[in-house]
Amino acid sequence: MMRCVATAGIFWILTGLAEADEPKFAYVDLTDKFTQKLADKFGTDERNLLSVPKGEQTFEKVKFKVGDGVVQLGSKQLADKPEKVEGTKVDKKFAKLHILHATCFGGGPNVAGSPWYVEDGTKIGEYKINYEDKSSEYIPIVFGKDVRDWWFRADEKEASHSKVAWKGDNDYAKENECRLRLYLSTWDNPKPDMKVISIDYIGQKEATVAAPFCVALTLEEK
């Protein structure tokens, strides 16, 4: 009997330690900031849809909540979208920010002189983290490092500092022998004990054809 009690005790201790090691996630609500609906075409073809599954999802061991749209920024090739979307509410302290994102343009035969060319190393946007003391930190979005085009061919490179978190398909991409992908970028907050009030999403609309878009943001709390 004592052996059973001791075994049960060890089990619950180990279970508690395992739960303590699991990261605690909190979703950032982007709903009021969407500039592109998932049900609407990306570009000119009705079949060109971002087919990422909606709702609570886990990508690369990080939990995200995918809504009905994305925050799509503009570029030289996407003039009808905004250069920046400000004031996404956070109002929390956190240790890490996980970002599910990608960009339009820069894929396929990405060669200088083509209308959709984006050179590796090009800064195409940034996330501005606004703290309660009025200070800010910036997370740059660099093409080739943090994201690449959401369309890709089998022979194309991936981003060097982010993980491919999701791959999918749509009919238009299949017709062009391509697939779809989204990237996971993780940022370590240098001020985890200070509340973040909001996040601004800022592009480079007049400087590049790359049009970044953010699908979801997740906080990893302390």
Domain spanning 23-221, CATH class: mainly beta
List the end-to-end C-alpha distance of the chain, in Å, as a whole number.
Answer: 40
pLDDT digits (tens, 9 = 90+) for 9-54: 544 444 444 455 789 999 999 999 999 999 999 988 999 999 999 9
pLDDT for residue 78: 95
**Domain spans of the chain?**
23-221
pLDDT for residue 14: 46
Residues of the chain with pLDDT under 50: 2, 4-8, 10-18
Give the residue among 95, 50, 120, 126 at the shortest CA–CA distance from 222: 95
pLDDT for residue 22: 85
Question: With contact defined as beta carbons under 8 Å apart, do 209 and 104 qualify?
Answer: no
Give the residue among 71, 52, 65, 151 at the shortest CA–CA distance from 108: 151
Residue 20 has what DSSP assignment?
Answer: H
CA dist 29 and 25 (Å) reads 13
Q: Which residue has the tokens 């925050």?
A: 71
Which residue type sits at 4?
C
108-134 in b/e form (b: 16+ CB < 10 A) is bebeeeeebbbeeebebbbbebbbeee
pLDDT for residue 81: 98
Beta bridge partners of 99: 185, 217
pLDDT for residue 20: 56
Average of per-residue pLDDT values in the chain: 92
pLDDT for residue 6: 47
